[in-house]
Structure 1
C-alpha cells in the first residue's frame, strides 16, 4: 500500500531566525511528502509495469538493487485532522527504491524486514505528517506552531487473501508507531496505532497499480494533546482550556494509484478522515468532523544500480 497519511507545535528559539526556520520548514515539508507519496518516494515500479519498464530485465525477474530519481508533487492538506483550513504545497518529490535483503524501500514503504513468511511479515515501518503554522490557522492563532512529525515502530502484516497470479492481495496491517517532532531537538509526540485492511491490485487499466486501505486510528493522551490540547496560557474566550484523552481518533480511508512509463513514475492519492466519536471531538480545536487530503506527483528515474537482485517489483 502507499501512504499514509498524513499526518505539531513549535517552541520558538531566540537563535532560530527567519532563514533558519525557512530551511527547517522545507526539510519537514519534504518529510511530509515522503508520507503522502510513499508510492513515489519510497516505492518500486508496479508489478504489472507500464511500457518499457521491464526492458533489460531477465526472465528470472532480476531488477536493479536501487533506483534514484526526482520530481515534483502538488498536495492539498488540512492543517491537521479536524481543521477547517487547508493549504496547498508544491514540493520536490524524491523517488527512492532499495531492494535489499532486510532493508527495503518499495511499494509497501520504507521498512526493515524482521520476519518474512508467505502469510506474515513483521517489520519496522516509517510514517510522517506535515507541519502547520498557527498564524495561518484561525483556531490555533497565538498558539505554538505544529511541527512535522516522524513516526517509527513495529508493523505486523497478515495476508488474508490473494489471487492465484498475485494480481491482487488483501492484508491486515497492524502498525504501532512512536511519534517525534522533526526539529533541532526532537521531542516525543506520543504513540499511534492504526489497524487497517489493505487491498492492492496490479495491472488495472493496462498497467496501473491501485491501493486502498481503511481502518480506525488510535492515539495515546500525549499524541492527541499535541494536536487538540489547549493549555491555560493559550485559553481565550473562544478557545477554552482543554485536556485531551487517549483512545479512538476517528476512521481513515485512502485510495491511491501509480504507474511507471519507462523512466517516469506518476502517482496520485486521496485520503478521507471521519472524526465522529473521536475522544477529542469536544476540543475547541476541532472545527470539522471530516478531513480530505489529496495529491498528485511525477518523478523521473535518473540512476539505477548495475547490480541486479531477484524481485517481484
Structure 2
C-alpha cells in the first residue's frame, strides 16, 4: 500500500475540510433548532453522495476518500448523517446492482435513506420484520434500508418508505437515531453476496473509526490552543509538565487510531473481503478502546470549564462515544477477529 496520500487525495482532503467546516458545529448553541439535513444540499451539490457509486464494479472513490471525508466531518462536528445516508447507502445499493432504480433519487438529493440497525446497533438489520433503529438521513420521511434473507438462503437488499418515526435519545448531540413508528411493505432489491456484506461492513467500521479520529484530533487541537492562552500561577498552563504529558498521551492514542484507519481505508477495496474486514475491525477496536479516555483527557485539560454544558468539549466526547458504539465496540470487534483468526464459531 501507499503509506501517504497522493496529491489528488490531498486536494480532496482540503476540499472535504472546507465543506465540513461550512456545515459543522462551532459552538453548543449552534445545535439548538438546527436541522441536521441543512448541509445535505452542500454534500449533494459537491458530488460527495456519488463517491461509492459503482461503474463496472469499481466505485468512483475508494475507502481512503471516505475516510478522509469522515475525518473532516468528525472534526467539524457536522450533524449531516453522510456516512449512513450517503456513503453506506450508496455503497449497498450499488453492490446490489440497483435493480430497483433507487440510486438516482438518492444521488439527486431528493430521496433520503437510513440504515435500519438492529436494536443493539451492532449490525444492519437482517430481517424486514425487525423494527430496529434508523441511523441516517430519512428521519420521519424517506426510506429505510436493511438486508433481507429469504427461505432459500439468498441475501437481498430491501427498502421501505418511512412515514413516521420518533427521535431517540442518543449519546451524541450531532448524530441522530430514530425509531420507526409506522409499518409498511418492504420492497426487495438486488442480491448481495457475503463478499459484498463484508466489504460494506469494512467500509462502515472504517468510516466510524475515521470519524472518531477526526473528532478527537479537533478536540485535542482545541485544548492545546487553549493551554497556550490560559494563565495560572502567572504562566500559561501549557508549560506545566503534567498538562504536556496528558496531551502527549492523547496525541499518541489519536495517531494510533489514524494509522489503523489509514490501512483499513486502503484495504476496503484493495484486499480480499475477509482481510479488509479484519483490518477494519482492528481500526474500530483501537478507536473504541482509545476514544473515551482520550476525550475525557481533553475535558480534564480544560479544567472546570470543560465540564460545563456550554462548552464544546462534551460534544466531541459524545460523538467519539457514538462512533465507538455503532457497529460494535472493542469487545465485539476483538471477538470477531479472534473467531476469524482462530476459526471459532
Same fold (TM over 0.5): no
Higher strand fraction: Structure 1 or Structure 2? Answer: 1
Higher relative contact order (CA 8 A, sep 6+): 1
TM-score by length of 1: 0.27
